[in-house]
Amino acid sequence: MSAICVPARNKPSETGGEDSADSNPVKRRCVSPSGSSEQHRLDCEREDYLYDVSVILPVHDAASWLDECLQSVLEQDFQRSMQLSVFNDASKDDSMKIIRKWATKLEDRGVHVMIGGHESPHPKGVGFAKNQAIVQSFGRFLCFLDADDVMMPQRVRLQYEAALKHSNCCAEEVQKWCSLIFVFNESMFPAVTVSMVLCMTKARCYLNAVS
């Protein structure tokens, strides 16, 4: 099956496909530490991230909501570098048309956009789509967004500031949470291990996961 992969401007080109999550990109596949957790943390911190934040957006038949969703990305007051990583999970509606329209607007505003996807007859589930969006992302921090949600303009900025202030509090919880994702279509997709990449979410604040 063919896949759509549109790299952001002025960044390394990539190829996409249904098996692209298995290519084990070094940045997103920090293996379990063989030594001390502190040494593992330092090793991962030395990795080169192109953007401060990547917004992770899985999409499946979301044409009814994408305009408002992507408008909220455009309206973020975050002043540092930001990427939108979108993965289209076999949408049959106008989702891709809307995504491409907004990609131009976002790029013009300085938000780098990566679009991946597959055209299989059936979707592979939100877990798979999130994993693929993570693999193709290049941000130090991950911010998860659902296609039927909108963000307040200050969301990314405030969570980025909080993540910097509490940079060591949630890495282990993130690693556990990302080790495996279940979806309810009789399939189970292994998730990418995102060790030492702080996940910023609207509903689940990992800053509260560790006392």
Task: Say what the pLDDT of residue 117 is.
Answer: 96
Mean pLDDT value across residues 3-13: 38
107: tokens are: 């790029």
The answer to the question of residue 195 being in a domain is yes
Whether the predicted pLDDT of 4 surpasses 50 = no
**Is the distance from CB of 115 to CB of 86 less than 8 angstroms?**
yes
Q: What's 51-108 look like in SS3? A: EEEEEEEEECCCCCCHHHHHHHHHCCCCCCCEEEEEEEECCCCCHHHHHHHHHHHHHH
The answer to the question of residue 158 being in a domain is yes
pLDDT averaged over every residue in the chain:
71
Give the domain CATH number at 69: 3.90.550
Task: Say what the pLDDT of residue 168 is.
Answer: 67
Mean pLDDT value across residues 48-57: 90
Mean pLDDT value across residues 41-65: 80
How confident is the model over 107-121, as pLDDT tens digits? Answer: 999 999 999 999 999
The answer to the question of residue 20 being in a domain is no
The answer to the question of residue 182 being in a domain is yes
Task: Say what the pLDDT of residue 44 is.
Answer: 47
Task: Say what the pLDDT of residue 166 is.
Answer: 79
How confident is the model over 184-208, as pLDDT tens digits? Answer: 444 444 444 443 444 553 333 333 2
The answer to the question of residue 27 being in a domain is no
Task: Say what the pLDDT of residue 181 is.
Answer: 39
How many separate domains does the chain show?
A: 1
Mean pLDDT value across residues 44-65: 85
The answer to the question of residue 105 being in a domain is yes
- The pair phi, psi for residue 106, each rounded to 5°, is -70, -40
The answer to the question of residue 72 being in a domain is yes
| Structural domain harbouring 187 | 3-14+35-204
Confidence of residue 150 (pLDDT cuts 50, 70, 90): very high
Distance CA 16, CA 20 (A): 6
